[in-house]
């Protein structure tokens, strides 16, 4: 097979559109009114910073929009992107390379789903924000490390898709 099926290409374009849509909303709609957006933050932040961000979102009236992006749109993106990576590897990969792609996609999906839930809980979007006070004293949030791992696995997914899709049929 010299080309990927139309369905797989459509999944890739849908994932790209969802990603760009989220990036635009987070950067240009929510971003100007808050101190930072943790899903795109490489720098360190604490759980207390996330609690404060949740309060900022509620004060500006954007908590509902952020929650929709975080738990709605990002959920769809994660699913579509993971399925796309898996299918590209299943169609174009040979032998163990197929399973590497599936493993990378699963790792990305688990990290990103986990990050979203951790953010929602710490920011008080999924709970009343009643975290254990001992957790809020950590100088660097565990979410930060999950985000960095997600970025790394996302990059590996993209590289693996690139190399697998360049394979001659």
- CA-based max dimension of the chain: 57
Among 161, 157, 159, 153, CA closest to 8: 161
Q: What confidence score (pLDDT) does residue 65 get? A: 97
Q: What confidence score (pLDDT) does residue 1 get? A: 45
Average pLDDT for residues 122-145, to the nearest whole number? Answer: 77
Q: What confidence score (pLDDT) does residue 41 get? A: 84
- 152 pLDDT tier (thresholds 50, 70, 90): very high
- 134 pLDDT tier (thresholds 50, 70, 90): low
Q: Which residues contact 5 (CB under 8 A, 6 or more apart)?
A: 91
Average pLDDT for residues 115-129, to the nearest whole number? Answer: 85
- 135 pLDDT tier (thresholds 50, 70, 90): low
pTM comes to 0.90
Query: Does 78 score more than 50 pLDDT?
Result: yes
Q: How far apart are CA 71 and CA 58, in angstroms?
A: 16
H helix intervals, the chain: 6-24, 47-60, 63-68, 74-92, 96-122, 142-165
Q: What is the DSSP letter of 9?
A: H
């Amino acid at each position: 097979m010299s080309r990927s099926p139309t369905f797989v290409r459509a999944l890739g374009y849908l994932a790209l559109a969802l990603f760009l849509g989220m990036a635009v909303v987070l950067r240009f709609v929510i971003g100007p009114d808050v101190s930072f957006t943790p899903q795109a933050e490489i720098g360190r932040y604490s759980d207390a910073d996330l609690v404060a961000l949740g309060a900022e979102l509620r004060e500006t009236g954007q908590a509902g929009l952020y929650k929709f992006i975080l738990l709605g749109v990002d959920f769809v993106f994660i699913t579509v992107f993971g399925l796309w990576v898996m299918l590209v590897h299943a169609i174009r990969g040979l032998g163990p390379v197929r399973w590497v792609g599936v493993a990378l996609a699963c790792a990305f999906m688990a990290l990103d789903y986990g990050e979203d839930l951790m953010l929602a809980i710490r920011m008080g979007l999924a709970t009343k924000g009643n975290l254990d006070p001992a957790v809020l004293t950590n100088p660097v949030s565990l979410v930060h490390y999950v985000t960095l791992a997600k970025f790394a696995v996302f990059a590996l997914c993209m590289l693996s898709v690139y190399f697998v899709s360049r394979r001659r049929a």
